Structure 1
Amino acid sequence: MNKTELIEHIAKTADISKAAATRSLDAMIGAVKVTLKKNGTVTLVGFGTFSVGKRAARVGRNPRTGEAIKIKAAKVPKFKPGKGLKDAVN
């Protein structure tokens, strides 16, 4: 399912227009981005938790030359599924 299909599903399920569904989805994604940018977490009970993890700096290899390269430390978004989502998938 891509974003367009998700918007259509939201519009049909919630009985709202596609424009309203688009605004709602964009607002939700925006809220998650802003919260994660501030190193916060977003918990949706029964669905899961979005959080920020840290990846340490490390040495990697260029696959073409085999030369060692330095990879900078980075913050990465993480998602931990909740029990409700796990149960729905299984």
Structure 2
Amino acid sequence: MTKQDVIQRISERTGLDPMTSRLIVESFFDVVKDALVEGEPIYIRTFESFILKQRAQKTGRNIIQNTAVTIAAHKVPSFKPSSVFMNQVKAQLVPTKEKKG
């Protein structure tokens, strides 16, 4: 599903025109990004959390030049689903592929 698909579904469910729905979705993304850049996590009960995780300094390899590269400690954004959301996803049946022959 693409962002355009999300906008279309929101427009259909709410009765809002697609441009208003697009503005709402884009504004939500902007709020999430701005909050995380400022170091503020976002908690949405029964859905998820947007948090920052700290990555420690580590040594990586440049395979082409065969050299060691130090990767500095840094933060990365992370999506952490709520237990309610995880249980809903886990309850879905996973289709199995039938073996041919």
Settle same-fold status: TM greater than 0.5: yes
- Structure 2 matches for 1:1-90, cutoff 5 A? 1-90=1-90
Where relative contact order (Cα < 8 A, 6+ residues apart) is larger, the structure is 1
Contiguous gaps of at least 5 residues in structure 1: none
- Residue ranges of structure 2 left out of the alignment (5+ in a row): 91-101
* Aligned-partner Cα distance in 2 for 1:38–1:31: 11
Percentage identity across paired residues of the two chains: 27
RMSD: 1.1
Structure of higher CA gyration radius: 2
Runs of 4+ in 1 over 3 A off after TM superposition: none
CA shift, 1:42, in A, is: 0.6
State the Cα deviation string for residues 30-58 of structure 1 (Å, max 9, x = none): 11111111111111111010011111121
Question: How many residues of Structure 1 are paired with residues of Structure 2 in the alignment?
Answer: 90
Relative to the length of structure 2, the TM-score reads: 0.82
Amino acid at match of 2:42: V
